[in-house]
Chains A and B, each alone.
Chain A
Amino acid sequence: MSSTITTSTNNEEDLWGGGNKPLKASYGKLMMWFFIVSDALTFSGFLVAYGFSRFKNLDSWPIADEVFTHFPFLHGVDAPMYYVALMTFVLIFSSVTMVLAVDAGHHMQKKKVAVYMLLTIIGGAIFVGSQAWEWSNFIKGEYGAVETKGGQLFQFINQETGKRIALDEFAIESHSDRTQHESKNGIWFLGEGSLPSFTPDEVIAGVIANPYVVIKTEKIDANGHKIILSREESLDKITQAIYVVEGANLVNNEYGNRLFANFFFFITGFHGFHVFSGVIINIIIFFNVLVGTYEKRGHYEMVEKVGLYWHFVDLVWVFVFTFFYLV
Chain B
Amino acid sequence: MENNTHKLEIFRGLLKFKSNESKIWGVLIFLSIVTVVEVALGIIKPEVLVVNSFLSMKMINWIFIILTIVKAYYIGWDFMHLRDELQGLQFSVTITLMFLIAYLAFILLVEGNYIFDVIYEGFVSWNF
Q: A326–B64 contact, CB under 8 A?
A: yes
Q: Which of A8-31 contact B (CB under 8 A)?
A: 23-25, 30
Q: Chain A residues in contact with chain B, CB under 8 A?
A: 23-25, 30, 33, 36-37, 40-41, 44-45, 48-49, 51-59, 65, 80-82, 85, 88-89, 92-93, 95-96, 98-100, 102-103, 106-107, 148-152, 224, 237, 240, 304, 307-308, 311-312, 314-315, 318-319, 321-322, 325-327
Alpha-carbon separation in the docked complex, A308 to B80 (Å): 6
Query: Is chain B's binding surface mostly helix, strand, loop or mixed?
Result: helix
What's the least CB distance linking B1 to chain A, in Å?
Answer: 6
Q: A85–B39 contact, CB under 8 A?
A: yes
What's the least CB distance linking B128 to chain A, in Å?
Answer: 4
The residues of B that contact A55 with a CB separation of less than 8 Å are 109, 112-113, 115-116
Q: B128–A150 contact, CB under 8 A?
A: yes
The residues of A that contact B111 with a CB separation of less than 8 Å are 52
- The 7 A-B residue pairs with the shortest CB-CB distance in the complex, in nearest-first order: A55-B112, A150-B127, A150-B128, A52-B112, A322-B68, A85-B39, A52-B108
Q: Which of B104-128 contact A (CB under 8 A)?
A: 104-105, 108-109, 111-113, 115-116, 119-120, 126-128
Nearest residue in B to A237 (C-beta to C-beta)?
A: B128
Q: Chain B residues in contact with chain A, CB under 8 A?
A: 1-3, 20-21, 24-25, 27-28, 31-32, 35, 38-39, 42-43, 50, 61, 64-65, 67-68, 71-72, 75-76, 78-81, 85-86, 88-89, 92-93, 96-97, 100-101, 104-105, 108-109, 111-113, 115-116, 119-120, 126-128
